[in-house]
């Protein structure tokens, strides 16, 4: 099967922006696509309700890496509310379009970001509600259960995208 990646997709694959880990992230999420097997990890740094920094790791194809790269560039500096609503169509459009079977990569990137924001908001709630109880162990546990819960949701959405093409 032929793949016609745009120059911008190739550039973002070859020199991805915002790639790497982040120590002491304010929000973190891992997202996997059960259909194609790809995985993305997102790390957020939030200041005054704005995304100050965002980083990602990828086990995925060229377009998986490129979509996460271009999306992180775009949402950096946005308010949490703006970033939450950032649509996957824009990610794909930013790259000058993606091959039809690769559209789901942009959906996955956006979902991963939303999940990391949800984790950030959850942590904020914890800080407000029970600041004393917040320990390292409970935090780790919470993140773990969230990951498993969200997985089927990711698959569902991926399937819908498949139908779209």
- Residues contributing to the site for another protein (CB under 8 A): 1, 3, 5, 10, 13-14, 16, 19-20, 30, 35-41, 56-65, 101, 104, 162
Q: Is the CB of 40 or the CB of 113 nearer to another protein?
A: 40
CB of 159 to another protein, least distance (A): 10
**What tokens does 38 get?**
């790809």
What are the φ/ψ torsions at residue 52 (nearest 5 degrees)?
Answer: -80, -40
CB of 21 to another protein, least distance (A): 9
| Residues 6 or more apart whose Cβ sits within 8 Å of residue 36 | 61, 104, 158
Helix spans in the chain (H): 7-14, 62-75, 80-84, 88-94, 103-129, 136-164
CB of 22 to another protein, least distance (A): 12
Q: What is the C-alpha separation between 146 and 115, in angstroms, rounded?
A: 9
Q: Is the CB of 13 or the CB of 120 nearer to another protein?
A: 13
Q: Is the CB of 64 or the CB of 92 nearer to another protein?
A: 64
Q: 72 and 52 in contact (C-beta within 8 Å)?
A: no
Q: Is the CB of 57 or the CB of 80 nearer to another protein?
A: 57
CB of 5 to another protein, least distance (A): 7
């Amino acid at each position: 099967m032929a793949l016609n990646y745009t120059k911008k997709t190739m550039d973002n694959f070859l020199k991805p922006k915002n790639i790497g880990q982040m120590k002491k992230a304010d929000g973190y999420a891992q997202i996997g696509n059960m259909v194609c097997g790809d995985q993305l990890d997102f790390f957020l740094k939030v200041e005054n309700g704005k995304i100050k920094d965002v980083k990602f790791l990828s086990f995925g194809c060229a377009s998986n890496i490129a979509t996460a790269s271009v999306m992180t560039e775009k949402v950096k500096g946005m308010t949490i509310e703006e970033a939450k609503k950032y649509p996957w169509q824009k990610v794909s459009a930013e790259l000058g379009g993606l091959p039809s079977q690769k559209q789901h990569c942009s959906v996955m990137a956006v979902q991963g970001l939303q999940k990391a924001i949800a984790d950030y908001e959850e942590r904020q709630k914890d800080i407000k509600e029970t600041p004393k109880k917040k320990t390292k162990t409970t935090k780790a546990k919470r993140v773990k259960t969230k990951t498993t819960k969200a997985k089927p949701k990711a698959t569902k959405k991926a399937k819908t995208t498949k139908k779209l093409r």
